Amino acid sequence: MAGRSALETYKQGGSWWETEISDIKKNEIIIRGKRIEDLIGNISYSQMLYFLLCGKELTDNQAKLFESVLVAGADHGPRAPSIAAARMAATCGVSFNSAVATGVNMLGDVHGGAVEDAMALLYETERIQLKNEHAVADKLSELLESGQKLPGFGHQLHDNDPRVQRLYELSHLLIESGEISGNYLRILEDYRGTISSIKNRRFTINVDGISAAVQCELGVPAEAAKGIFSLSRGMGIVAHAYEERKNGTLIKGPCPNEEKLVRYTGKRVEESEQS
Ligand SMILES: CC(C)(COP(=O)(O)OP(=O)(O)OC[C@H]1O[C@@H](n2cnc3c(N)ncnc32)[C@H](O)[C@@H]1OP(=O)(O)O)[C@@H](O)C(=O)NCCC(=O)NCCS
């Protein structure tokens, strides 16, 4: 019940928390109407995630595709802020879960956030397309004119990201079997073609873009994207934090301890104070 006051509900004899997700009683754990013992051993991690979040079940192939998104985003090495932060925290002697949380907490609008923006854009474009056949061109002009980037496109390092190609291949198998519609992948491709012709150069879809389209195909809510990415990148964060902890290296700081790497831009010491 959106916007309910827990206190008011409680005063009127209702309960403090309301959930459609789980019902926990002594020796009984029900998740979305199914006994936990029937889920354990029968559904995969990605099926469980989707079932918890959306209350619906994915087919085995859909679950495999969703899991592929989780695998694709798992790691991008210590130059990625989330991995670097977790490794740095691990060198500072914090507890292991704190190091992991430090990495996860680096995920935001700039790092790891493009999936949510791209999903929101793809969902909105699909809705607008019902009335406007130029929805892609119109939305793109709106974004560019307001100085925004097209989420899910471009990369500082890759111009032929292997993750993108592989997720495309896997998605196409499900379009052929009718397990996803392919609508959002087509819209994504439409954006790629349109921005490439506007900017007069080849634009690449990045891993966030393809992950967004795949998750839209599966009906994942855009608002959940950063949480889902935390679970995906969380795997890499755990591995990197563990490696750093195991190596036992003492604090190295965010960069080598060289003066030229940090420029002081504040006030200079005044002449009289120097002497
Ligand atoms: C990832 C990103 C920051 C890389 O930016 P970059 O290093 O500047 O990329 P490039 O050097 O290839 O950019 C060259 C030009 O293309 C533009 N450009 C790059 N990506 C763009 C995008 N997604 N939408 C619109 N224009 C874009 C840049 O603004 C720049 O324009 P300019 O020459 O007129 O200044 C950028 O592509 C971006 O912000 N993408 C959208 C967000 C996103 O998907 N992030 C997830 C990355 S995995």
Q: How remote is the CA of residue 126 from the centroid of ligand 1, in Å? A: 24
Is the pLDDT at 44 greater than 90? The verdict is yes
27 vs 6, residue with greater confidence: 27
> What pLDDT does 6 receive?
84
What pLDDT was estimated at residue 80?
Answer: 95
- Which of 215, 176, 212, 175 has its CA nearest to residue 192? 212
Across residues 59-81, what is the average pLDDT?
Answer: 97
* Spacing, Cα 240 to ligand 1 middle (Å): 28
Q: Ligand 1 atom 16: the closest Cα is on which residue?
A: 154
The CATH fold of domain 114-224? Cytochrome p450-Terp; domain 2 (1.10.230)
Beta strand pairing status for 22-25 and 28-31?
A: antiparallel
Interatomic CA distance for residues 42 and 48, integer angstroms: 10
Compute the distance from residue 155 Cα to the ligand 1 centre, in Å: 7
For ligand 1, atom 29, name the residue with the nearest CA.
149
Measured from the Cα of 155, ligand 1's closest atom is: 1
What's the rounded mean pLDDT across residues 54-79? 97
What confidence score (pLDDT) does residue 250 get?
75
Residues of the chain with CATH 1.10.230.10: 114-224
- The mean of the pLDDT values for the chain is 94
Size of the chain, expressed as the number of residues it contains: 275
Per-residue model confidence (pLDDT) at position 249: 78
Tokens of 219: 């009906």
Which residue's CA is the closest to the ligand 1 atom numbered 45?
114
Q: Is 80 exceeded by the pLDDT of residue 274?
A: no
* DSSP per position, 105-158: TT-SSSSS-HHHHHHHHHHHHHHHHTT-TTHHHHHHHHHHHTT---TTB--SS-
- Whether 233 contacts 103, CB under 8 Å: yes
CA of 162 to the centre of ligand 1 (A): 19
Q: Is the CB of 151 under 6 A from ligand 1?
A: yes
Neighbouring C-beta atoms of residue 158, cutoff 10 Å? 14
Q: State the pLDDT confidence band at 2, using cuts at 50, 70 and 90.
A: low
Position of tokens 């030229």? 260
DSSP designation for 178: T
pLDDT in tens, 141-180: 999 999 999 999 998 899 889 999 999 999 999 999 999 9
The protein residue with its alpha carbon nearest to ligand 1, atom 14, reads: 154
* Residues 6 or more apart whose Cβ sits within 8 Å of residue 76: 83, 236
Mutate to test the pocket of ligand 1, among 155, 163, 192, 229 (most ligand atoms within 8 A of CB): 155
The model's pTM is: 0.92
Least confident of 12-21, 114-123, 250-259: 250-259
User: Looking at residues 245-266, what average pLDDT do you find?
Assistant: 86
- Alpha helices in the chain, H assignment, sequence order: 6-11, 36-39, 45-54, 60-72, 81-91, 96-104, 114-129, 135-145, 162-176, 183-199, 207-217, 225-247, 271-274
Cβ(208) – ligand 1 distance below 6 Å: yes
Residue 112 Cβ inside 6 Å of ligand 1? The answer reads: no
Q: pLDDT tens digit string along 169-194?
A: 999 999 999 999 999 999 999 999 99
Best mutation site among 111, 149, 192 for ligand 1 pocket (most ligand atoms within 8 Å of CB): 149
Neighbours of 48 (CB within 10 A): 16
